Amino acid sequence: MITVEHLVKQYGDFRAVDDLSFTVEKGEILGFLGPNGAGKSTTMNMITGYNSATEGDVTINGFNVYDEPEKAKRCIGYLPEIPPVYPDMRVKEYLRFCTELKEIPKKERAAEVDRVMELLHVTHMQNKLIKHLSKGYRQRVGLAQALVGNPEVLILDEPTVGLDPMQINWMRNLIRSLGKEHTIILSSHILFEVNAVCDRVLIINHGKKIIIDTPDNIIRTLGGTSGVRLVVRAEEEEFRKAVESIPNIARCDRLEEDPGDGLTAYAVYSAERGEIRDRLATMCAERGFALFELNAIQKTLEDVFIEMTGKGDTI
Amino acid sequence: MRAIYKKELRSYFTSFLGYLFIAFLLIIVGIYQYLYNLRGEYANFGLAVNGTTTFFLLLVPMLTMRILAEEKRQRTDQLIFTAPVSVERIVLGKFLALVTVFAVAVAFICVYPLILHNYGAVNYSVAYTTIAAFFLLGCTYMAIGMFISSLTESQVFAAVMTFIVILFTLMIDMLVQMLPTGHVLAFCVLLGLALIVSVITYVMMKSKIVTGIVAVLSVGGLAVAYFTDPDRTRFDGSLAKVFGWLSVQSRFALFPREIVDISSYVYYLSMIFLFVFLTIQAIKKRRWEA
């Protein structure tokens, strides 16, 4: 459905996008994840044919975006980072213009405008000037624009930015339901969102692909159960020594939580992937530490993301 | 193309801008008509139109400043350039909307000579050939204004630049008279121009090969033309000639004097074509870089 091959965008000496390749299957929602400035918007602008690529190719539905731009663009609905709306137009007038711009047959235009307004719940705002709308409504009108003509492919650049929590939830549900009929690429720097909505996740940093897989697989292959949380009754120094005597342990941190009752909580990490819970349990039994809780620390996509992109400050 | 054309036209006529432009133009023509034709008692309507051309200085930027700069500033260019419409058709739609607003005003102006007819004999052929030239002159300025608007995100910058460029075309005849006519200086200045063109080529295309070809051809051509001429008179007065090509305004001056110069019509049409083409290229180029 969408094929991106060896895409490069060069600005002078700076490579904003560096040899990016991936495919998105029909009916799939791909989450496009990366810190700010990773090249997400640049890539999306190239996929939609707004900007040209320095090298590489983008194919939508079999049409090359650069060789057959009009055919390819007909299959795409694009919601850029800033909704491309005219402040001096009324909502209905604007969507009407979009149906004309996207060459919807004349007879179907009115029905199409009504359909997208209904879908985005903006029908009651149809006669308002867009400059008088709140950010949330502007975003909705922007998405309505992308849905005009019911294109098979939707490219959504940070669709939930600037929305309040209620609207975010509503928007996510909408995107999920759109995913049944459309192929969607959705960019975000909110991991929870991508985890909740997307079938697969592509993580990029400095314009390079880091990984593309399902959220669960990413967590499994990169996360694993390398961390274990224990709640024990034990002298700290004695416990640390005992833990360090087990081979393959990277470090042992005392957690800030206070389980009370003279108990202490620790997080223990293994040096390599693999199970250490059994060994820890045996150790506690042998040394006579009373063990109250023992569970694996499940890595979240967030942990993986911070690990992969190498900086937590960008989230 | 129709969608863009309709949108632009609607935006001119739902805001005051379109009406202001037309009203301003008609008032100015009215004032000149009163001064020349009614009070001055000249039967030549061309004179009234001639006086009005100076006001393109204010009228054209008013209409063209936002046409592409504003799309870029409010990011709606991401909508129109990702729609299944080519850049050519978008630019053409926008330019035709500008021309239409101007044509409405010119249609009103066409009525003026008929009114004048009540007060005496009017030379219609002069009046209407002048109005036709006036229309083409205005369209030329608007094509230039649109081109300038495509280069920037700032309406103010677009307006000021358009003002300066039109002012330059108005003053160029005067400036040309100050230019030296000697051939040595002419050769040097033309050589400088050739170098400037080469530099612009390099900035635009970033290609050393193309720039090299342009530089060698232009500089070499000039040198050959200059040094093969035994008495070196070939370049006498050539500066005035070169700058004269840029004088959009002077081509108009013949019409009110009852001379119909078809080559001026052709000149304006070529300038319009050139600047519409340059606008399209400027947008395409930006998409490579941005």
Instruction: Give B4's contacts in chain A (Cβ within 8 Å).
Output: 101
Could you tell me if A111 and A209 lie in one domain? yes
User: In the numeric block, which tokens belong to residue B258?
Assistant: 């009852």
Could you tell me if A156 and A12 lie in one domain? yes
- Does A311 map to a domain? no
Is B83 in contact with A49 (Cβ distance < 8 A)?
no
Do the Cβ atoms of A58 and A47 come closer than 8 Å? yes
Residue of A nearest to B74 (CA): A84
User: In the numeric block, which tokens belong to residue A101?
Assistant: 């711009």
pLDDT digits (tens, 9 = 90+) for A265-295: 888 887 776 778 888 888 888 888 889 988 8
| Residues facing A297 on adjacent strands | A227
Round to whole Å and give the CA distance between A148 and A131.
21
For the sheet with A249-254, list strands across it.
Answer: A249-254, A264-270, A227-233, A290-297
Mark which of A198, A221, A244 sits at the end of a domain: A221
- Check pLDDT > 50 for residue A312: no
Q: Which of B2, B3, B82 sits opposite A76 (nearest CB)?
A: B82
pLDDT digits (tens, 9 = 90+) for B45-96: 888 898 899 999 999 999 999 999 999 999 999 999 999 999 999 999 999 9
Could you tell me if A96 and A163 lie in one domain? yes
Q: Give the Cβ contact number of residue A40 at 10 Å.
A: 24
Could you tell me if A210 and A272 lie in one domain? no
Residue of A101, A148, A161 to mutate when probing chain B, most B C-beta within 10 A: A101
Could you tell me if A217 and A230 lie in one domain? no
Instruction: Give B75's contacts in chain A (Cβ within 8 Å).
Output: 80, 82, 84
* Runs of H (alpha helix) within A148-251: 165-178, 191-197, 215-218, 236-244
- Does A285 map to a domain? yes
Interface contact B11, partner A, CB < 8 A: yes
Residue of A nearest to B85 (CA): A70
Considering chain B, what is the average pLDDT of its residues?
Answer: 88
Could you tell me if A192 and A235 lie in one domain? no
Could you tell me if A257 and A215 lie in one domain? no
Q: Which of A51, A78, A145 sits opposite B290 (nearest CB)?
A: A51
Instruction: Give B70's contacts in chain A (Cβ within 8 Å).
Output: none
- Does A113 map to a domain? yes
Interacting residues of A124 by C-beta distance below 8 A, sequence separation 6+? none
Q: How far is A111 from chain B (nearest CA, A)?
A: 18
Q: Reduce the DSSP state of residue A56 to 3 states and report it.
A: strand
**What distance lies between CA B241 and its chain's CA centroid?**
19
Could you tell me if A99 and A203 lie in one domain? yes
pLDDT digits (tens, 9 = 90+) for A51-86: 989 999 999 999 999 899 999 999 999 999 999 999
Structural domain for A247, as ranges? 225-298
Tell me the CA distances in angstroms from A209 to A186, A294, A307, B135, one per residue in order. 16, 36, 14, 56
pLDDT at A36: 81
- Does A25 map to a domain? yes
Round to whole Å and give the CA distance between A156 and B10.
29
Is A101 in contact with B80 (Cβ distance < 8 A)?
yes
- Check pLDDT > 70 for residue A311: no
Instruction: Give B7's contacts in chain A (Cβ within 8 Å).
Output: 97, 100
Quote the Cα angle for A118-A121-A124, to 5°: 90
- Does A53 map to a domain? yes
- Does A58 map to a domain? yes
Q: How far is A58 from chain B (nearest CA, A)?
A: 14
Q: How far is A150 from chain B (nearest CA, A)?
A: 13
Is B84 in contact with A84 (Cβ distance < 8 A)?
no
Question: Of how many residues is chain A composed?
Answer: 315
Considering chain A, what is the average pLDDT of its residues?
Answer: 87
Number of domains present in the structure of chain A: 2
Do the Cβ atoms of A209 and A278 come closer than 8 Å? no
What CATH number corresponds to the domain at position A55?
Answer: 3.40.50.300
- Check pLDDT > 70 for residue A195: yes
Is B3 in contact with A71 (Cβ distance < 8 A)?
no
Is A49 in contact with B76 (Cβ distance < 8 A)?
no
Which band of pLDDT confidence, cut at 50, 70 and 90, is reported for residue A315? very low
Interface contact A13, partner B, CB < 8 A: no
Round to whole Å and give the CA distance between B197 and B187.
15
Q: Give the Cβ contact number of residue B59 at 10 Å.
A: 25
Could you tell me if A239 and A216 lie in one domain? no
Could you tell me if A202 and A294 lie in one domain? no
Q: Residue type at B25?
A: L
Mark which of A175, A195, A221 sits at the end of a domain: A221
Q: Which of A88, A98, A102 sits opposite B11 (nearest CB)?
A: A88
Q: Which of A76, A100, A145 sits opposite B3 (nearest CB)?
A: A100
- Does A307 map to a domain? no
pTM above 0.90, yes or no: no
Which band of pLDDT confidence, cut at 50, 70 and 90, is reported for residue A241? confident
- Check pLDDT > 50 for residue B198: yes
Interface contact A149, partner B, CB < 8 A: no
Interacting residues of A33 by C-beta distance below 8 A, sequence separation 6+? A187, A188, A189, A191, A194, A201, A202, A203, A204, A305
Round to whole Å and give the CA distance between B267 and B290.
34
Round to whole Å and give the CA distance between A185 and B79.
17
Is B3 in contact with A78 (Cβ distance < 8 A)?
no
- Check pLDDT > 50 for residue B225: yes
Instruction: Give A84's contacts in chain B (Cβ within 8 Å).
Output: 74-79
Mark which of A206, A221, A236 sits at the end of a domain: A221
Q: How far is A33 from chain B (nearest CA, A)?
A: 21
pLDDT digits (tens, 9 = 90+) for A201-235: 998 888 889 889 888 887 777 655 568 888 998 88
The closest of B168, B103, B170, B107 to B138, measured between CA atoms, is B103
Q: Reduce the DSSP state of residue A248 to 3 states and report it.
A: coil
Tell me if ipTM is over 0.95: no
Round to whole Å and give the CA distance between B86 and B7.
16
What CATH number corresponds to the domain at position A243?
Answer: 3.30.70.260
pLDDT digits (tens, 9 = 90+) for A130-153: 999 999 899 999 999 999 999 999
- Does A137 map to a domain? yes
Could you tell me if A168 and A94 lie in one domain? yes
Q: Give the Cβ contact number of residue A132 at 10 Å.
A: 12
Could you tell me if A145 and A179 lie in one domain? yes
pLDDT at A224: 53
